[in-house]
Structure 1
Amino acid sequence: MNDRLLVKLSGVVLACGVMAGCATQGNNTATTPEAFNKQLADADTVAKGGDQDRAIALYQQLSKSDPTREEPWSRIAQIQFTQGHYGQAIVAAQEALQRDQTDRQAKSVLAVAGLRVATQSLGELRQDASLAGDAKSDAQALAKQLRDTLGEATLFPPDPSDKSAPKKKRVIRRVAKSKTVEAP
């Protein structure tokens, strides 16, 4: 009975191994740089044709077939940014930059998407009921919230290398008392 169980388990393990081999073989279709570039061009064509969701899926497949290449991530970042999905654009841009720190498109998407997220967040904070009032009190309440969130006493600490605003020195002058001589 133990022999039968062992034979059955061996057959299951062998079948799983064969299926896993087939599954991984299908995912690694872009093993050569030429094949990768061809599939990248095909995905670019789909993206230019307007089917952004399908293009993203193709870029994701490419990112799995060659995890060292940044191009799929950079293109995903651009599509997500264009669609207004700034969080996903930031994540994809960071993935691209992990693979190529010189990718200017990914840097641009990361910077602008980050600013858009910050702008949206500030807009939401502005609509907060606790911030209702005049501009100065709004700014003060917002600055306090930001300082509390960041755990900093100031939002923008002074830059020690900034010498554009020299400090005024306090000069103390002593005036000598003159002796008055009375005329006789």
Structure 2
Amino acid sequence: MMKLGTSIPGLACALLLSACATDAPLLRPEKSSVVTLDSALAEANRLAAGGQQDKAVTLLRSAAGSYPADKAPWLAMAQMKFDRASYGEAILHAQEALQRDPSDQVGNSIIAVSGLRLSTRALADLSQQNNLSGSLRTEAQDLARVLRTSLGEDVLVPPPAVARKAPLAPAKRMAPVKPGAASSADPFGAIR
């Protein structure tokens, strides 16, 4: 039989060695699943097409955090917000994309059209309230002039087309009736 005093250090060593052996997997770093930008964009498109826009935007925000220098997640979020008529948010996301690529046409287009739609909505509301006067009216007219010049149009919104009546065609002249050529019983005899 062994004495209790000599077996305690051996038991302690055995416990320490077994503890190190079981903790080793916990100390190893886990392999993180790296999501590529293309796969994140594809998954976000799939979610959005399935009607899960909120999940798609959350995924795109995560992709934007993982790829901070890329404009693609921001443009995708801007387009989703634009499609849902959330023009203010669409503008914010498009501005983020333009910080990464100032010459991006899609980002600039989303900002321009979203801004015009917000302005149109606000002007319609003011017009209904009869509060479109003074400097606000002058500024709106100046903006309309800039838009007309930019678009190369004289009128931004043409009036409804008025149905014009086609002018009457001139009447055909009948050939002169030759005496004795037709009888009074045949009125079309002179035309033949």
Gaps of 5+ in 2: 1-28, 150-192
Which residue number in structure 1 is paired with residue 11 of structure 2?
Answer: none
Name the CA distance, whole Å, in 2 between partners of 1:146 and 1:55.
41
The alpha-carbon deviation at position 64 of structure 1 amounts to 0.8
Misfit runs of 4+, over 6 Å: none
SS at match of 1:101: coil
Counterparts of residues 33-182 of structure 1 (less than 5 Å): 35-131=36-132, 141=133, 144-147=135-138, 155=142
CA RMSD of aligned residues (A): 3.3
The alpha-carbon deviation at position 118 of structure 1 amounts to 0.6
Name the CA distance, whole Å, in 1 between partners of 2:126 and 2:108.
27
The alpha-carbon deviation at position 66 of structure 1 amounts to 1.1
Query: How many aligned residue pairs are there?
Result: 118
Radius of gyration: which is bigger? 2
- Bigger helix fraction: 1
SS at match of 2:69: coil
Matched-pair identity in %: 35
Name the CA distance, whole Å, in 1 between partners of 2:40 and 2:79.
18
SS at match of 2:70: coil
1:89-122 CA deviation, whole Å, 9 max, x = no partner? 0001111111112322212211110100110111
SS at match of 2:89: helix
Gaps of 5+ in 1: 1-20, 132-140, 163-184
Name the CA distance, whole Å, in 2 between partners of 1:87 and 1:38.
27
The alpha-carbon deviation at position 129 of structure 1 amounts to 4.0
TM-score of the pair, normalised by structure 1: 0.54
Name the CA distance, whole Å, in 2 between partners of 1:130 and 1:95.
34
Name the CA distance, whole Å, in 1 between partners of 2:113 and 2:103.
17
The alpha-carbon deviation at position 67 of structure 1 amounts to 0.9
